[in-house]
Structures are given as structure tokens and as C-alpha cells.
Chain A
Amino acid sequence: MDPATAREAATLGIWTFLATEVLLFGGLFTSYIIYRIKYPQIFYEGHLKLDHVLGAINTVVLIGSSLTVALGIAAIRKGKVGLLRLYLFLTLLLAGTFLGIKYVEYTEKFSHGLYPDTDIFFSLYFMLTGLHGLHVLAGMVLLGAVLFLAGRGRYSESYHTPVEISGLYWHFVDLVWIYLFPLLYLLG
């Protein structure tokens, strides 16, 4: 297989995987819509108990991590391995910050007696943000592996498909949060 064909196959592969991810989150989004229509009061009261400042900060953190991944890919396309590693490191730092803030939020919710079995709003809140958090964790493992392999000189100007593919996954994780933030934190 010539390199261009191999790259296209990999791109189609990750987009297919992301399609399954859209539908995984799609099922939960569907339950969100149905129960929101059915119990608007519970959703209104629930969203007031979330810290939308922390939610907004985390949105900016995750958008920033998408930028650093994009810049990392731009760097390796020019063969700059050192710059790629720097940007990947920054991405991991931002991803860690996101999870740290999520941890603070969860702890705060638990201390106020808000658990996944509190009501339908918090069931969906913990399920959606928890599943998303697992994706952030998976992305960190993936990008960590790419960072490690970049250090071993695996990627160059002519070959960096794994960097691009992992980047697509990371942007998808950002995409999910772009919808989760207004749906959970902002809409009353």
C-alpha cells in the first residue's frame, strides 16, 4: 500500500470509530432530551446546583488543549519533533487540569449529598460527564503514547499518521464537551 492510501485508510478508520462514539453519546443525549421535556422542573433546579464558572473554565481549558494538539500536528508536518513533543506535553497538562477541575466539582457535589441516584438530572449529569471524563483519560493515554514514541524518533515530516489520528480522537473529546457544557450547566 502506498503511503497516501495508507493514510487515507487510517483517516477513514478513525472517522468510523468516531461515528460509533457519536452514537454512544447520542443514546445518552436522547435520554437527556426526553427527560428534559418530561421533567423540566428537575432539570431547572439541577442546573442551578452546578458551578457554571468551573464549567466555563473547563470549556476554555479543553479548547486550549485542542489548539495545542493542532499546533503539534502542524509542527510535525514540518518535521519539528521537539515542537511536537512540547505541544503534546502542554496538551497533557491541560487535560490533567480538566480532570482536576472535574474532581473538584464531583467532590463538591458529593459533599452536598448530590449523587448519581439523587434524581434524573444528576443521573444524566454523572453519566454524561463521567463517560466524557473516561474519554479524556483514554485520550491522555493515547497522546502520552504518541509523546513517548515521538521521543524515540518514530515520527517525521514524511510519516506522522498516528499523531494525526490521535489528534482527531482528541478533538472529538473536545466536541462532546462543547455540547455537554451548555446542555448541563447553562440551560435552565
Chain B
Amino acid sequence: MNPESGEPPAAVYRRYLESGRLGFQRCGDCGSAVFYPRVVCPVCGGADLAWETSFGRGVVYATTAVFRRDADPYNVALVDLEEGFRMMSRVEGVPAEEVEVGTKVILRMDREGDDPAPVFVPEGEGR
């Protein structure tokens, strides 16, 4: 690895997840929150992207329940984090179809097999 390139953004993200944190980047030039992680700010083109840990508080921006023939539907949602970035995730703790746009949610680190999975639960449902 070329030492000047540093650690790959996806690897840093993964390391944050493994330690139970949701990482995102903040552009040192324009201040934009950047997610998914990358080596260039898509807003201003700057390369000075610093990692921060999200507090994990957000609002459901869009939601769908994915139906299956042999099991209950599961939720897929887009969540707007209060730091100013959006990510795909799912809302747990309520039936998939009852998740509503505008619901305040909070991060809960789950596992998907060997992988850490950042999911959300409605605020007040506990972490």
C-alpha cells in the first residue's frame, strides 16, 4: 500500500462499526457531512475529509416494507442523521409496515452474521 494514501475509507468505516460506532466524514473545506465514505468531498471537491462519530439520532426520510412469500415483511428505510447525512438502514422494534416517514429514530448496533449492522429503533424504545 502506498503510505501516502492512508487507510482505505471503507476500511475505516468498517473499523468504526466493529467498535460499535457509526462513522462518517466531515469536509474540512466546506463543512459538509459526507456519507458514504470516500477520498473526495462530492460537494466542494476538497480532499480534507476527517472522520467523526455520529451520535446516532435521526429521522426516517423514506420507508418501505419488503414482502416475502414465506416470512413477515422486513423494513428498509432511509434515515437522515442529525449530523447532516443520509443512509440506508432499517427500523426495528415495530412491524415493518408501521414504520412512518418522519419518525425519530436512534441507532442500535446489530449484527448480520459476522458483520456489524447499524440499524435504528424508534426513539424511546431504548438502545
Are these two chains actual partners, yes or no?
no
**Residues on A facing B (Cβ under 8 Å):** none
